Amino acid sequence: MLPNIPVAPLQPLRLPWLNTIQAAILRLDLIDPLLSGNKWFKLRHHLQQASQARAPGLISLGGNHSNHLHALAAAGKRLGFATAGLLRGHPQDTPTVRDLQALGMALHWLGYGGYRARHEAGFWEPWQARYPGWHCIPEGGGGVAGAAGCALIVEQARSQLAALGWRGYDGWWLAAGTGTTLAGLVLAEAGAHVVHGALAVPLDHGVPQTVAELAGLHGYQLHDACRGGFGKFDDELLAFIELSERQSGVPFEALYTGKALMALREQVEAGAFAPGTRLIFLHTGGLQGRRGYL
Ligand SMILES: *Cc1c(COP(=O)(O)O)cnc(C)c1O
């Protein structure tokens, strides 16, 4: 059985620069206090696979502010799986790491070199020996299973259009890290509406390849939104987030959602969208991570 996920509210998004187009925001940040954002959707099929295989636990990897490990630890605790996390770098004490420990996740720090080896053949072997039968999840919850879980995001939005007074919509706008969530939306839309991905990582980090492998070459557009690199923030971005939060009443963080919103403003101001275009901005969550850096 696929775990149920509460319906994320679809709300009007009001910002002064969104004056020529109509925007709504699907608040994945509000679905659950612990298990929030796109990571819960990306984990859905992995959790189902682990349960079908009667795996005693789930193991995955990430950084010390990782929204993915945070969601995995919370899901494991709630659904009764043990969890283990392989972390980049050396032991650090961040709010996220403290939560992982409190949620019962076993943590292993791989250093930087050890973490870089994560794509090499044989990387998982020692961990599979140490945790026999455990379900291994690629970084960020990626892959086919991760993308498949995101189809539910499209269903959730469509079920609320009428309540918003919209008869339809023209496209999606969301932040992309690995591109898995974006690919999931593209697959679910099957060409019905364009999906705009705002890249929170540099273009050479493999997002175009990931999306192409999972969802083909059509039905989406990629936009640079990384502002010099993943996890880099400048004063202009932080001021923009603060102002946008005040104007819209919606909280954003600086790694993904803030950068995606800023890239949307650039495109709107450049006239990329015809007047009256209706866009759904996907709030992918990630607010737990900002305790560590904002
Ligand atoms: C992980 C994450 C993303 C990126 O999702 P991908 O599926 O890897 O592209 C976007 N926003 C937030 C808040 C995230 O935590």
Residuewise pLDDT in 10s, the chain (294 residues): 677 899 999 999 999 999 999 999 999 999 998 898 999 999 999 999 999 999 999 999 999 999 999 999 999 999 999 999 999 999 999 999 999 999 999 999 999 999 999 989 899 999 999 999 999 999 889 899 999 999 999 999 999 999 999 999 999 999 999 999 999 999 999 999 999 999 999 999 999 999 999 999 999 999 999 999 999 999 999 999 999 999 999 999 999 999 999 999 999 999 999 999 999 999 999 999 898 777
Phi-psi map region of 133: left, alpha, beta (phi>0 left; psi -120 to 50 alpha): left
CATH classification of 39-141 is 3.30.1180.20, yes or no?
no
pTM recorded for the entire structure: 0.96
Residues 6+ apart with CB under 8 A from 129: none
CA of 177 to the centre of ligand 1 (A): 5
> Ligand 1 centroid to 209 CA: how many Å?
16
Which letter, b or e, does each residue of 195-210 get, where b requires 16 or more Cβ atoms within 10 Å of its Cβ? bbbbbbbeeebebbeb
Residues with CB under 6 A from ligand 1: 37-39, 67, 140, 175-182, 256-257, 284-286
* CA 178 to ligand 1 center in whole angstroms: 7
Please give the structure tokens belonging to residue 269: 């101001």
Q: Which of 115, 66, 23, 93 is nearest to 231 (CA)?
A: 66
Q: Which atom of ligand 1 is nearest to the CA of 286?
A: 13
- Distance from Cα 102 to the centre of ligand 1, integer Å: 23
Instruction: Answer whether 10-34+150-292 and 39-141 agree in fold.
Output: yes
The CA distance from 114 to 103, in Å, is: 25
Write the residue with the smallest CA distance to atom 3 of ligand 1: 177
* Domain definitions of the chain by residue range: 10-34+150-292, 39-141
CATH 3.40.50.1100 fits 10-34+150-292, yes or no: yes
